[in-house]
Amino acid sequence: MTLRIIFMGTPEFSVPTLRALKEAGHEIVAVYSQPPRPGGRRGLDLQKSPVHQAAELLGIPVFIPLNFKDEADREQFRLLNADVAVVVAYGLLLPEAILNGTRLGCYNGHASLLPRWRGAAPIQRAIMAGDKKTGMMIMKMEKGLDTGPIAVAREVAIGENTTAGELHDQLMLVGGRAMVEAMEKLEARDLPLTPQPEEGVLYASKIDKSETRIDFARAASDVHNHIRGLSPFPGAWFEVEINGRSERVKVLTSELAEAEGEAGTVLDDSLTIACGSASVRLVRLQKAGGKPLASADFLRGTPLPAGTRLG
């Protein structure tokens, strides 16, 4: 016996779970995703989400409601007669009519060790906070934001130099395997649910552009965590004067260093930058409109000698 599943997801992060459930033999009766958004080089073309594209390749019908306020959309969901809905980074808070619209409820794949980092940006926030571990949790959804009981948990270590992009790619594969396990246990009526602890709740608010600028006055460890937590997108950045004008430069990877100096000052020819305490070495950078470059290649085209101030 297989489950009749409605899959709900939008970004690339969700795609491995969709494929894993399909490969496990479950019947994916429909996929729900966010509507196509402007994209392309000039933002003029409407682009289907990665989940939408993956579903079409798998021959699965796709629905793209703006929300579920319309009763017709809710009724359409119910009429699919699904056993369960699986939700991974869908991008909408689901109303109770949808949470209760399948026989066995909705199960969500969330990229943190709940209740730490509920909300929109758990991968970035975990790294920016200097966490040493995170994970994927499968929970049964309820009305609150990421508050439901836990069904399956998988812990993942965060390395000292791990970026958000690298952790994203690791967790999305872990999440696919964890969801398949959860659905197998649900199908066998052997899926235990454990309430989340009441202590340790933190919220991972969406990354705002106003917090992406690097503040070299902070401790080197904080600067390093900030850089890798925002890499590759939206990217942490600084401004520096190049050929008489101020330019913005993204830092995609960095390393901790021990040299000391005035915060924001280039200390050597390896792009070691003094911070509030200790320093960071900038390893991979990108000028606005340019390609990502290793620091040595970047410096060949854009010299930043010792003593240069970054802001």
Cβ atoms < 10 Å from Cβ of 199: 6
Cα 21 off chain centre by: 21
Q: Considering only CA atoms, give the Rg of the chain.
A: 22
Asked if residue 50 belongs to a known ligand binding site, the reply is: no
**Residue 57: how many CB atoms within 10 A of its CB?**
8
Q: What are the DSSP calls for 205-243, one per residue? A: PPPPGGG-B--TTSBHHHHHHHHHHTTTTT-EEEEEEET
Beta bridge partners of 107: 86, 140
Query: What is the rounded distance in angstroms from the CA atom of residue 150 to the CA atom of residue 193?
Result: 5
Tell whether 115 is in a known binding site: yes
| Helix spans in the chain (H) | 15-23, 50-57, 71-79, 96-99, 122-128, 164-187, 220-229, 295-301
State phi, psi for 203 to the nearest 5 degrees.
-110, 135
Cβ neighbours of residue 124 closer than 8 Å, sequence gap 6 or more: 164, 204, 207, 229, 230
CA distance 175 to 161: 22
Residue 258: half-sphere exposure toward Cβ, Cα within 13 Å: 0
Name the DSSP class of 161. T
3-state secondary structure of 54: helix
Measured CA to CA, the distance from residue 253 to residue 128 in angstroms comes to 13
114 is in an annotated binding site: yes
Q: What is the Cα–Cα distance from 78 to 54, expressed in whole angstroms? A: 23
List the structure tokens of 209: 């552009």
Which segments are annotated as binding site?
A: 112-115
Which segments are annotated as binding site for (6S)-5,6,7,8-tetrahydrofolate?
A: 112-115
